Amino acid sequence: MKRYQLGEFEEIVLLTVGVLYDEAYGVAIKGEIESRLKRKVSVGAMQSALRRMEKKGFIDSRLGEVNKLRGGKPKRYFTITAYGRDALQHSQDVRLSLWNDIPGVALDL
């Protein structure tokens, strides 16, 4: 079986990139995760997750337009690759199969 190395935080970031689709750049991703998960995300943690995943091939990136608000620096937009999609799919499948195999009584607490 092919291994998809995807950490928990990476998976969240990757999913968020998917959610934002065409608008997935640093600040937006950070804002989205913070508002959905109700937790603080540091730029450093998120950026290093993004670059790691880019190196692994889960996401692609392109530079966007220059924005005055950003001190003349471009945005970098991220999109999920096919490989990234497979990794997400795999991760979901594993969870689903685990979830399905839990005998009903175990969750009757």
Q: Which residues bind other proteins (CB under 8 A)?
A: 25-27, 30, 42-45, 47-49, 51-52, 55, 63, 67, 69-71, 73-76
Q: Which is nearer to other proteins, 38 or 55 (CB)?
A: 55
Closest by CA position to 84, among listed 41, 55, 48, 46: 55
Q: Which is nearer to other proteins, 63 or 94 (CB)?
A: 63
Q: Which is nearer to other proteins, 57 or 92 (CB)?
A: 57
Spell out the alpha helix ranges (H) of the chain: 8-20, 26-37, 43-56, 82-101, 104-107
